[in-house]
């Protein structure tokens, strides 16, 4: 297996060149906060802060495009809307922001390939998710957006969200991860009380590698789904079709259904956790880009040791067998079983797990924080021990 698989596909798990490019930008009031926290420029209140965040559904749109072209099922685009929303909303949740969030949608499409019905399905998906969260007590407000025909620069479609919120400074959760704390992971897979179907847990990260590692070479016929600069021997190297049933998956799910499971939001669970355990939560990390190493960007000189991770769900077991990523790289690319982790005191663990269970969400202690001379993450798993 190659340790450079992700880079060969034109993607970087750690984005070292991007972080170098932005190193001189203002990091906001609290550099270790998970989202940028700004002064209250809107109202000028020193006791309040502004939050702004932007993210997209990433290359999951290329996968949705393949599924739509193969099946004709336009509804797949509704879940892409959820992917883009959750990648923003759950990041904001990591600083304690759960309500009164204004979102604006940006859709850049290649009009030659993406008709109006696809755009309509994405917009309908935005509305449906916002309404579902409102029923859970989470107030999200749609602020419109922009749809642009940019076929000269977008191969199929790009779906993004910008989110803004204003909150009291006293309610902020700024990462203060220290030795002695333990880590509670919230599972990325299964079926919660607020989800209509089983969720594979794949989320919206690593889909470039997953798509090419699992799908057959026949999909290379859709040249619009990958960069022309990518070496052809790296493209669609897997053994499966999107319609293939995956034996280990529940309810006879196909590979396409597994990979396109909408990114799970943890907002309803976190809302309940904040009511009882907010003071005992010292940090929240959304394990998105960077997978299990994401936390490294938000710690000082400590060692985050993950030695009791979840058993990888079926979609990740499939990737473990067929991926061209090395075992070390798998934990940098994928969440591998939990996508949200809380840094808490030992006494809060059982209560947090009980609250999660009320939502049919599995939660457990997955590691601890130790002293270290430098920031590092240690993953101890059945695939080996890896230090980052």
pTM: 0.93
Tens of pLDDT, residue by residue over 81-119, are 999 999 999 999 999 999 999 999 999 999 999 999 999
Of the candidates 373, 366, 368, 367, the residue with the CA atom closest to the CA atom of residue 300: 373
Task: List Cβ neighbours of 211 (8 Å cut-off, separation of 6 or more).
Answer: 59, 62, 63, 66, 225, 236, 259
Residue whose structure tokens are 């919230």: 186
Instruction: Give domain status of residue 170, yes or no.
Output: yes
Residue range(s) defining the domain that contains residue 39: 5-203+259-387
Task: List Cβ neighbours of 149 (8 Å cut-off, separation of 6 or more).
Answer: 109, 110, 111
Q: What pLDDT sits at residue 2?
A: 46
Instruction: Give domain status of residue 236, yes or no.
Output: no
State the Cα–Cα distance between residues 99 and 134, nearest whole angstrom. 9
Q: What pLDDT sits at residue 156?
A: 98
Q: What pLDDT sits at residue 1?
A: 37
Residues 309-329 have a mean pLDDT of: 95
Q: Is the pLDDT of residue 332 over 70?
A: yes
Instruction: Give domain status of residue 266, yes or no.
Output: yes
Residues 58-64 have a mean pLDDT of: 97
Instruction: Give domain status of residue 247, yes or no.
Output: no
Q: What pLDDT sits at residue 261?
A: 97
State the Cα–Cα distance between residues 184 and 176, nearest whole angstrom. 15
What's the whole-number average pLDDT of the chain?
Answer: 94
Stretch (H or E) spanning 387: strand 384-387
Q: Largest Cα–Cα distance of the chain, in whole Å?
A: 58
Of the candidates 351, 109, 34, 62, the residue with the CA atom closest to the CA atom of residue 211: 62
Answer for the pair 32, 298: CB distance below 8 angstroms, yes or no: yes
* Sheet with 48-56: strands ordered across: 37-39, 48-56, 157-168, 101-109, 140-149
Residues 137-148 have a mean pLDDT of: 96
Tens of pLDDT, residue by residue over 281-290, are 999 999 999 9
Q: Is the pLDDT of residue 17 over 80?
A: no
Q: What pLDDT sits at residue 4?
A: 74
Of the candidates 68, 65, 306, the residue with the CA atom closest to the CA atom of residue 177: 306
Lowest mean pLDDT among 4-8, 57-61, 89-93, 135-139: 4-8
Lowest mean pLDDT among 144-148, 172-176, 229-233, 384-388: 229-233
Q: What pLDDT sits at residue 19?
A: 55
How many folded domains does the chain comprise?
Answer: 1
Q: What percent of the chain has pLDDT over 90?
A: 92
Instruction: Give domain status of residue 254, yes or no.
Output: no
Residues 351-368 have a mean pLDDT of: 98
Q: What pLDDT sits at residue 251?
A: 87
Tens of pLDDT, residue by residue over 24-52, are 566 789 999 999 999 999 999 999 999 99
Tens of pLDDT, residue by residue over 182-224, are 999 999 999 999 999 999 999 999 999 999 999 999 999 999 9
Q: Is the pLDDT of residue 305 over 80?
A: yes
**What's the CATH code of the domain at 352?**
3.30.1330.10
State the Cα–Cα distance between residues 255 and 259, nearest whole angstrom. 6
Instruction: Give domain status of residue 240, yes or no.
Output: no
Instruction: Give domain status of residue 221, yes or no.
Output: no
Calculate the CA dihedral of residues 62, 200, 267, 126 and round it to 10 degrees. Answer: 30
Question: What letter would DSSP give residue 295?
Answer: G
Instruction: Give domain status of residue 189, yes or no.
Output: yes
Q: What pLDDT sits at residue 21?
A: 63
């Amino acid at each position: 297996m190659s340790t450079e698989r992700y880079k060969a596909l034109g993607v970087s798990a750690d984005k070292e060149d991007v972080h170098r490019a932005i190193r001189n930008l203002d990091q906001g009031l609290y550099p270790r906060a998970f989202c940028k926290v700004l002064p209250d420029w809107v109202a000028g209140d020193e006791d309040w802060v502004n939050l702004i965040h932007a993210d997209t559904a990433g290359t999951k749109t290329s996968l949705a495009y393949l599924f739509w072209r193969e099946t004709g099922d336009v509804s797949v685009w509704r879940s892409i809307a959820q992917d883009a929303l959750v990648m923003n909303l759950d990041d904001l949740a990591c600083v304690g922001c759960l309500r009164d969030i204004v979102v604006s949608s940006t859709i850049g499409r290649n009009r030659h390939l993406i008709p109006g019905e696809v755009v309509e399905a994405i917009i309908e998906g935005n509305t449906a998710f916002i309404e579902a969260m409102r029923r859970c007590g989470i107030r999200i407000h749609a602020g419109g957006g922009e749809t642009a025909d940019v076929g000269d620069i977008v191969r199929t479609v790009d779906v993004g969200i910008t989110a803004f919120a204003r909150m009291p400074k006293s309610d902020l959760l700024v990462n203060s991860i220290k030795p002695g704390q333990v880590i509670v992971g919230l599972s990325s897979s299964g079926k919660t009380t607020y989800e209509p179907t089983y969720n594979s847990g794949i989320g919206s990260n690593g889909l470039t590698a997953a798509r090419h590692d699992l799908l057959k070479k026949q999909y290379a016929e859709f040249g619009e789904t990958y960069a022309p600069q990518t070496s052809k021997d790296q493209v669609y190297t897997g053994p499966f079709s999107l319609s293939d049933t995956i034996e280990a998956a529940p309810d006879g799910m196909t590979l396409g259904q597994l990979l396109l499971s909408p990114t799970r939001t943890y907002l309803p669970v976190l809302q309940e956790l904040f009511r009882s355990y907010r003071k005992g939560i010292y940090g929240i990390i959304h394990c998105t880009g960077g997978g299990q190493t994401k936390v490294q960007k938000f710690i000082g000189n400590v060692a985050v040791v993950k030695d009791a991770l979840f058993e990888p769900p079926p979609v990740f077991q499939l990737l473990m067998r067929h991926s061209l990523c090395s075992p070390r790289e798998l934990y940098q690319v994928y969440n591998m079983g939990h996508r949200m982790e809380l840094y808490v005191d030992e006494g809060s663990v059982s209560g947090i797990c009980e609250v999660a269970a009320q939502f049919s969400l599995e939660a457990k202690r997955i590691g601890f924080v130790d002293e270290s001379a430098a920031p590092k993450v240690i993953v101890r798993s059945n695939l080996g021990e890896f230090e980052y």
